[in-house]
């Protein structure tokens, strides 16, 4: 990414090399690959330096629009202070009702916008349902044919539900958005030579692929 600077002001952001007219001169796109930095600077073209200090993970934060500044012969791209997404649900209020903002079928106290906690728990429930679906046929067979469910399958399903409950509790108890982010952030709990990436929230027990394939053959 480049910027065109004229009279110390940024007049154009160039996302891809292209032919340009600067002053009365037309320059081909190949100058971006053939010319040196100083040669480009001499006609007012500067490579943009990105300062990501304030840019945060958009899963958890709402970033400001990017801005560009020219100083000390350098164009810098940066962001303002990010705003944390709401971790709790936003509910319809009496004021919303007075202003006739509440949609039909909803009332004061109902959820207007889901917070991160609700969204994350819904995602977790979907993951749990997907994992349990791998062995649901054992339950169906037991119901229809009274065929015993292998203890390993029952144990696995119980461990999934137990871990789900632990994870939902951790999400629910998170005090704010940064706390939620921490739960989901992987850190190396091993060594530099033998890294082990784990997150505080943990993981759902997953049926091993080889075991799942064997189960499929039994169906």
pLDDT tens digits, one per residue of 198-211: 999 999 999 875 45
Confidence grade of residue 212 (pLDDT, cut at 50, 70, 90): low
Q: pTM for the whole thing? A: 0.81
Residue 208 is predicted with a pLDDT of 72
Round to whole Å and give the CA distance between 13 and 116: 35
Mean pLDDT value across the chain = 94
Note whether 91 and 112 are within 8 A (CB). Answer: yes
Residue 207 is predicted with a pLDDT of 86
- Tell me the mean pLDDT in the region 1-18: 96
- Tell me the mean pLDDT in the region 21-45: 96
pLDDT at 21 over 90: yes
pLDDT tens digits, one per residue of 63-105: 999 999 999 999 999 999 999 999 999 999 999 999 999 999 9
Confidence grade of residue 217 (pLDDT, cut at 50, 70, 90): low
- Tell me the mean pLDDT in the region 103-119: 96
Round to whole Å and give the CA distance between 195 and 17: 40
Residue 213 is predicted with a pLDDT of 52
pLDDT tens digits, one per residue of 144-200: 999 999 898 999 999 999 999 999 999 999 999 999 999 999 999 999 999 999 999
Please give the sequence-ordered ranges of beta strands (E in DSSP) within the chain, or none if there are none.
2-6, 9-14, 20-22, 25-27, 45-50, 61-62, 67-71, 74-78, 83-84, 90-91, 111-113, 187-188, 197-198
pLDDT at 218 over 70: no
> Measured between alpha carbons, how far apart are the two ends of the chain, in Å?
56
DSSP sequence for 27-88? E-TTHHHHS-HHHHHHTTEEEEEE--TT---TTTEEPPPPEEEEETTEEEEE----EEPPSS
């Amino acid at each position: 990414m480049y910027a065109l600077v004229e009279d110390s002001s940024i007049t154009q952001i160039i996302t891809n090399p292209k032919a340009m007219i600067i002053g009365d001169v037309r320059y081909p796109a190949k100058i971006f690959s053939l010319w040196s930095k100083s040669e480009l600077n001499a006609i007012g073209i500067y490579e943009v330096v990105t300062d990501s200090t304030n840019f945060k993970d958009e899963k958890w934060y709402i970033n400001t629009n990017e801005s560009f500044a020219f100083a000390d012969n350098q164009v810098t791209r940066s962001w303002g202070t990010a705003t944390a997404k709401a971790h709790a649900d936003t509910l319809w209020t009496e004021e919303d009702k007075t202003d006739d903002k509440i949609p039909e079928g909803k009332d004061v106290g109902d959820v207007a916008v889901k917070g991160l906690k609700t969204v994350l728990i819904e995602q977790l429930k979907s993951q749990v349902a997907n994992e349990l679906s791998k062995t649901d046929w054992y339950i169906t067979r037991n119901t229809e044919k009274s065929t015993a469910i292998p203890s390993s399958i029952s144990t696995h399903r119980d461990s999934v539900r137990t871990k789900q409950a632990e994870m939902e509790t951790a999400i629910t108890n998170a005090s704010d958005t940064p706390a939620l982010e921490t739960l989901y952030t992987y850190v190396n709990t091993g060594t530099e030579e033998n890294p082990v990436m784990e997150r505080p929230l943990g993981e759902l027990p997953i049926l091993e692929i080889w075991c799942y394939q064997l189960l499929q053959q039994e169906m």
